[in-house]
Amino acid sequence: MSAGKSYRLLLVSTPLGPLGSGVGGGVELTLLNMLDALAQRGHCIQVVAPQQSHLPNTPVITVAGSPQIPAQTQTRQTPIHLPENSVLANMWWQVMTLQSEFDLIINFAYDWLPLYLTPFLDTPVAHLISMGSLSDAMDQIIGQIAEQFPHTIGVHTQAQANTFPFAQHCHPVGNGFNLDRYQFTPTPKDYLCWLGRVAPEKALEDAVTAIDQTGQALKIMGHIQDQAYFDQIQAQFPQANIDYLGFLDTAAMQAVLRYSRGLLVTPRWVEAFGNVVIEALACGVPVIAYHRGGPAEIVQPGQTGWLVEPDSVAGLVEAIHKLPEIDRQTCRQQAEQEYSLTAFAQRLEQWFAKILSQPST
Ligand code: HBI
């Protein structure tokens, strides 16, 4: 397809929960950002998502049914699971009936079924894989589709791709954000932030331990996926100055984030990307991150934040003391250069053109 061609795109959301609920984690924001990025470039987009999904200004084809179990709570050998009246299966039934109206289908689910169905569909499917390797069954089916349909496996970062045995078949697209929604703030107030799903793989306890040692204030925002885990952290650090603000929409979240001295990013797993890293940089907020996964490919040490030895709380404390060395304007500039909607749209169009230039098998 020639450059500048406009595509008819069908975006199929994660089956974890409704768009706008936060249950889908980073994938919800990624889908919104992709929608903004591509609509601005004149592409025609429709979205299929679980019932109760909401999008600011795009019609959603909503589908009823039972949600999938979050893949990251499973083991590597967990068999493929589809609940009775699966919303995932119901969404892809909808996709099958609609497919002829589109040039390309884009799958956001980290689940076996959409990958398995790819050869059965007439319209090409691009899979945006949102996490690193988690199970043998997913690795197997993604690898099989990567071989059979070249270029159709998209990832966010090379670090994420490298967790898979078929890394060389993955197409990194980064991510993109509507930076107008984030207000650059040159002068911070006296607190740090931690953002994300509150779950063991995000290692919130490390951030709380670090601020307990430095006496700093920590504001926490995000969907509590594992309440027992959160309760245990609070019980372990009764004196820590932490303030949980809930899962806020972007506008409310960035109104707090923008005044933060720094964002702590403490993934225990290989974070595929780290949307929160870009959201912080967009506000001019330096990022302290473990040298692991996507955030380690984004943060420029000494320029836009600090990279810390993974799982080292002492490293977090040391980096917190070095935050004043970072120029907050540089943080905003990196977001504008690499992670704007325009930059993302260009990477996506290149990816789609590669997929659609393949001889249809
Ligand atoms: N688990 N089964 C399943 N399906 C998903 O689409 C999924 C998930 N776990 C987490 C998740 N998506 C997103 O929150 C992350 O990819 C960001």
Distance CA 313, CA 182 (A): 29
For residue 68 and ligand 1, the question of a CB distance below 6 A is answered with yes
Mean pLDDT by 10 residues, the chain (361 residues): 78 96 85 95 96 90 97 93 97 98 98 98 98 97 98 97 97 96 97 95 96 96 95 96 95 98 95 93 98 96 98 98 98 97 97 89 50
If one residue of 110, 270, 276 were mutated to test the ligand 1 pocket, choosing by the most ligand atoms within 8 A of its CB, it would be 110
Distance CA 103, CA 333 (A): 35
In this predicted structure, what is the pLDDT of residue 3?
56
Q: Indicate the domain borders of the chain.
A: 8-176+340-356, 179-338
Return the CATH fold of 179-338. Answer: Rossmann fold (3.40.50)
In this predicted structure, what is the pLDDT of residue 257?
98
In this predicted structure, what is the pLDDT of residue 74?
93
Whether this model's pTM surpasses 0.95: no
Same fold for the pair 8-176+340-356 and 179-338: yes
Which residues contact residue 193 at a Cβ distance below 8 angstroms, ignoring those fewer than 6 apart?
218, 219, 220, 221, 256, 257, 260, 262, 263, 264, 280, 285
Helix (H, G, I), strand (E, B) or coil at 60: strand
CATH fourth-level superfamily of 8-176+340-356: Glycogen Phosphorylase B; (3.40.50.2000)
Residue owning tokens 């406009």: 6
In this predicted structure, what is the pLDDT of residue 358?
83
Helix (H, G, I), strand (E, B) or coil at 87: helix
- Work out the number of other CB atoms within 10 angstroms of the CB of residue 221: 22
Tell me which residue has its CA closest to atom 5 in ligand 1. 110
Tell me which residue has its CA closest to atom 4 in ligand 1. 110
The Cα-based distances of 99 to 8, 103, 118 in angstroms read 10, 8, 12
The Cα-based distances of 87 to 17, 60, 82 in angstroms read 9, 15, 9
Query: What is the chain's length?
Result: 361
* CB-based contact 157:258 (threshold 8 Å): no
Taking the centre of ligand 1 as the mean of its atom positions, its distance from the CA of residue 293, in whole angstroms, is 17
For residue 71 and ligand 1, the question of a CB distance below 6 A is answered with yes
Residue owning tokens 């019980």: 235
For residue 294 and ligand 1, the question of a CB distance below 6 A is answered with no
Taking the centre of ligand 1 as the mean of its atom positions, its distance from the CA of residue 110, in whole angstroms, is 5
For residue 33 and ligand 1, the question of a CB distance below 6 A is answered with no
Count Cα neighbours of 266 within 13 Å in the Cβ-side half-sphere: 28
Output the furthest CA–CA distance in the chain (Å, rounded): 62
For residue 16 and ligand 1, the question of a CB distance below 6 A is answered with yes
Taking the centre of ligand 1 as the mean of its atom positions, its distance from the CA of residue 207, in whole angstroms, is 23
In this predicted structure, what is the pLDDT of residue 4?
72
Distance CA 33, CA 28 (A): 9
- Work out the number of other CB atoms within 10 angstroms of the CB of residue 80: 13
Parallel, antiparallel or unpaired: strands 60-63 and 125-128? unpaired
If one residue of 11, 13, 14 were mutated to test the ligand 1 pocket, choosing by the most ligand atoms within 8 A of its CB, it would be 14
Task: Report angle CA 249, 252, 258 to the nearest 5 degrees.
Answer: 120
Taking the centre of ligand 1 as the mean of its atom positions, its distance from the CA of residue 314, in whole angstroms, is 31
* Helix pair 227-236, 204-214: axis angle to 10 deg: 20
In this predicted structure, what is the pLDDT of residue 2?
44
In this predicted structure, what is the pLDDT of residue 1?
40
DSSP annotation of 3? T
Taking the centre of ligand 1 as the mean of its atom positions, its distance from the CA of residue 201, in whole angstroms, is 13
In this predicted structure, what is the pLDDT of residue 113?
98
Distance CA 284, CA 305 (A): 10
In this predicted structure, what is the pLDDT of residue 360?
62
For residue 195 and ligand 1, the question of a CB distance below 6 A is answered with no
